[in-house]
Structure 1
Amino acid sequence: MIATPSLILSGTTTDTAQIVTLICIVSAVFVFIEYNAGCASLIEFRDAPPFNRVRFFGLATTVLALTVIAKGYTDPTNLTRLFEVVGSSLAEAMDFPYSPVRLVVLMLPPEAGSDLVERVRTAAGFSYLVSLLSLAFFVLVLRLNNWPNQKGGFNVWTNLPTFNPTAGVDVVERLERDGQLNIVLGFLLPFLIPAFVKLASDLFNPIQLQDAHTLIWMMTAWAFIPASLIMRGVAMLRVAQMIAIQREQAYLSAQDDEALPA
């Protein structure tokens, strides 16, 4: 997935290829260690599929689609034209006042050409739609499959390695607070990121979105990170709900045991 733009796009320099190769190797080693260790250190919900699968396939779909569209600008084919037409239509439908796609377009400098504006709009619309579909699919799986308790158990230590259930206030309250914070932040980020980029471009050199690699990864990160945060927030709220239900059941069972005659 990481090497897709470099493998498909023409004109990739040797330095870029070497950097991408190094990133691929490091990422592969990291994921292999995380999934084979007794307890993960960073990757969350390792043993609660399909949380990470949905995120990965959403990210891979975005990168692949934007790469095919970008290739069509230099080496057009029927496939690239199809992706470009679909992406352009989606972008036009999502480019309304105060929408995240419109804000991404407005962050471009005034001297940006019409071709660059159209490419950014297409990439933003397509990536944002994929992120929304990934989020909707995860919520649907959560409702239909009783996620994450399909196999009868959920280990907080292995699935939430960065969360310490023994620290601070009640674990349910902390999970609900962190989940709500993730949802709010994920909702606001698509609006805040273009504003920060616009501010930074006024103070420093503007980001060169003319480069296909930069455009692909910028738009992918802009759409994927907020959707990932919302999914994480929904998952944490679900875990908090599951723990609260188990506590209530244990409390009722203890009351029933006390009510039984000796």
Structure 2
Amino acid sequence: MILADVQSDASQLVGLFACVAALLIFAEYTAEYPSVIEFRNAPPFNRIRFMALFATVILLTLMARATMHPTAALMSLAQTGSMIGEAMDFPFSPVRLMVLVAPADVSAQHLDLIRGMAGVAYLISLVTLVLFVIVVRLLDWPIRRGAFNFWVNLPLFDPTTGGDVLYRLKRDSHINVALGFLMPFFLPAALKISGNWGAVPNLSDYQPLIWTMIAWSFLPASLIMRGVALMRIADLIEEKRRRAYAQAELQLA
């Protein structure tokens, strides 16, 4: 709706996907039994992720619109994004790697837009991570508002298979954090390699560019948030076990 050069068929397709996703999420949150969405009863985990995704989509889209229909507000946003991108564009940074993925024949103006979008998207992901860590550490997530229901909030995690639950939670936490940290570096390299076979998204077009930036920044942040959340759950289980063992020893004594 915001981009002016998008074909009507693409807009209708995106609207259809949005409606389907809205119906699925509505059904998930109104159902008594969980299905696939994790931490649905442990706010604000999913709220933080939604706000980060929403802010990234809106800001990157407005930055792209500023190149087509410049206004004072949009140009100010684009200049701010450009400054953020330049500040985060240093050697071996994820933003620099995304800039290197740009086509060789792209104009200097479009390259600056790519840099600005990458800087804004990556900054939002960093702010999201910091905000969630603050919620976990200072606001005692997820037990501040009551007990944590393991089955409702982790419906895809089967605690009866695969050994000790505590070990599996910590292992999955480490894997998620490691993947989330490495993805901003590996994804640009994968895009660069896939460009040799013509499979790279067309970063000269605004819509593929926006969604590429969103996937590059939001998915790693979401993985790290999940890793932090799983480690927090593991700490709660370990603490409860420690209290139970101490109480059992007192009763035996």
- Aligned pairs for 1:81-100 (under 5 A) are 81-100=75-94
Partner of 1:42: 36
Q: Does the alignment pair 1:159 with 2:153?
A: yes
- How many residue pairs end up in the alignment? 253
Contact 1:176–1:236 (CA under 8 A) maintained in structure 2: yes
Q: Does the alignment pair 1:222 with 2:211?
A: no
* Whole-Å separation in 2 of the counterparts to 1:206 and 1:44: 31
Provide TM-score, normalisation by structure 1. Answer: 0.94
Partner of 1:27: 21
Query: Which shows bigger deviation, 126-135 or 146-155?
Result: 146-155
Contact 2:201–2:212 (CA under 8 A) maintained in structure 1: no
The residue type paired with residue 169 of structure 1 is G
Q: Which runs of 5+ in 2 are unaligned?
A: none
Candidates 105, 121, 125, aligned match of 1:111:
105
The residue type paired with residue 244 of structure 2 is A
The residue type paired with residue 68 of structure 2 is T
Partner of 2:144: 150
* Whole-Å separation in 1 of the counterparts to 2:199 and 2:150: 44
Provide TM-score, normalisation by structure 2. Answer: 0.97
1:120-163 superposed Cα distances (whole Å, 9 cap, x missing partner)? 11110000000000000000011111111112311111101111
* Whole-Å separation in 2 of the counterparts to 1:66 and 1:92: 16
Q: Percent identity?
A: 47
The residue type paired with residue 2 of structure 2 is I
Candidates 47, 52, 70, aligned match of 1:76:
70
Instruction: Quote how far apart the aligned CAs of 1:205 are.
Output: 4.8
Instruction: Quote how far apart the aligned CAs of 1:13 are.
Output: 1.6
List structure 1 segments (4+ residues) > 4 angstroms apart after TM superposition. Answer: none
Q: Which runs of 5+ in 1 are unaligned?
A: 1-6
Q: Does the alignment pair 1:197 with 2:181?
A: no
* Whole-Å separation in 2 of the counterparts to 1:116 and 1:77: 18
Contact 2:201–2:209 (CA under 8 A) maintained in structure 1: no
Instruction: Quote how far apart the aligned CAs of 1:64 are.
Output: 0.6
Contact 2:121–2:213 (CA under 8 A) maintained in structure 1: yes
Instruction: Quote how far apart the aligned CAs of 1:110 are.
Output: 2.1
Candidates 4, 9, 20, aligned match of 1:15:
9
Secondary structure at the residue paired with 1:60?
A: helix
